[in-house]
């Protein structure tokens, strides 16, 4: 994709929760992301960073506002297709299937997209390459419950990259990891965006990680402000 093209446009995103009490979280968020942008979203706990990431990633619906991804206006009919084809997610708590191997986890998006995942298929070879890239070639046949936290997050990154997404969303991707492992995870994520011209949107409390991104924002009282 052309690196000058917006890959995501969000306009006037509003979000409130009504149960058990009214909480107005987002009060008109505007954001345009280009291919190759690496974007850090910071802010105090409870400001709505995860909610915003979920809305931008089509996992949660805004109360009002406009969202466009890869030149398509997102609506209820196309959002799961867009999510599967264009987006990928990394969460603080990994969200792996613990009784499946690292390789099976990485192949899961391809399997959901109904690609051929048998040994020797393009998807299988790509999954093996990705696991090698994140340094887990020797662990690919281990069930992920046997892996360390940093190893699990590296499997999650390989899984996120399996379908070659345009945008990678990461919500506190190193929140549960030690400093050295965090650094390695950050380098993998930034490397993905820089080398492949993809966008990375991440929520972090880590100022060092935010400083490595090309754009930084702070979510404060429902509004996203560039830093």
Ligand X SMILES: Nc1ncnc2c1ncn2[C@@H]1O[C@H](COP(=O)(O)OP(=O)(O)OP(=O)(O)O)[C@@H](O)[C@H]1O
By the rule CB under 6 A, 45 interacts with ligand X: yes
By the rule CB under 6 A, 207 interacts with ligand X: no
Are 52 and 26 contacting, i.e. CB atoms less than 8 angstroms apart? Answer: yes
By the rule CB under 6 A, 48 interacts with ligand X: yes
By the rule CB under 6 A, 104 interacts with ligand X: no
Smallest separation (angstroms) from ligand X to the CB of 216? 15
Smallest separation (angstroms) from ligand X to the CB of 70? 24
Are 106 and 189 contacting, i.e. CB atoms less than 8 angstroms apart? Answer: no
Q: In the 8-state DSSP scheme, what is residue 128?
A: H
Q: Which of ligand X, Mg ion, none lies near 45, with the C-beta cut-off 5 to 8 A by kind?
A: ligand X
By the rule CB under 6 A, 204 interacts with ligand X: no
CA dist 74 to 56, 180, 187, Å?
10, 38, 31
By the rule CB under 5 A, 50 interacts with Mg ion: yes
Q: Which of Mg ion, ligand X, none lies near 118, with the C-beta cut-off 5 to 8 A by kind?
A: none
Cite the DSSP H helix spans in 62-168: 79-86, 102-112, 122-133, 149-161
Question: β-strand 64-69 against 6-17: which pairing, if any?
Answer: antiparallel
**Which residues are near ligand X by CB under 6 A?**
17, 23, 25, 43, 45-51
């Amino acid at each position: 994709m052309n690196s000058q093209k917006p890959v995501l446009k969000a306009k006037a995103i509003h979000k409130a929760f009504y149960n058990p009490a009214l909480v107005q979280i987002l009060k008109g968020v505007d954001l345009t992301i280009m291919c190759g942008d690496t974007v850090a979203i910071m802010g105090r706990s409870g400001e709505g960073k995860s909610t915003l990431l979920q809305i931008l990633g089509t996992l949660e619906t805004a109360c009002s506002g406009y969202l466009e991804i890869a030149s398509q206006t997102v609506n209820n009919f196309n959002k799961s297709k867009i999510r599967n084809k264009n987006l990928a997610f990394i969460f603080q708590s990994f969200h792996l299937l613990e009784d499946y191997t690292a390789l099976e986890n990485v192949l899961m998006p391809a399997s959901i997209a109904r690609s051929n995942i048998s040994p020797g298929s393009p998807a299988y070879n790509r999954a093996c390459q990705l696991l090698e890239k994140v340094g887990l070639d020797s662990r690919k046949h281990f069930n992920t419950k046997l892996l360390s936290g940093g190893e699990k997050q590296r499997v999650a990154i390989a899984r996120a990259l399996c379908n070659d997404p345009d945008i990678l969303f990461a919500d506190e991707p190193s929140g549960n990891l030690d400093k050295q492992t965090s650094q390695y995870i950050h380098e993998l994520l930034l490397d993905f965006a820089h080398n492949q011209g993809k966008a990375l949107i991440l929520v972090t409390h880590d100022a060092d990680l935010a400083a490595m991104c090309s754009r930084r924002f702070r979510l404060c009282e429902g509004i996203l402000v560039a830093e």
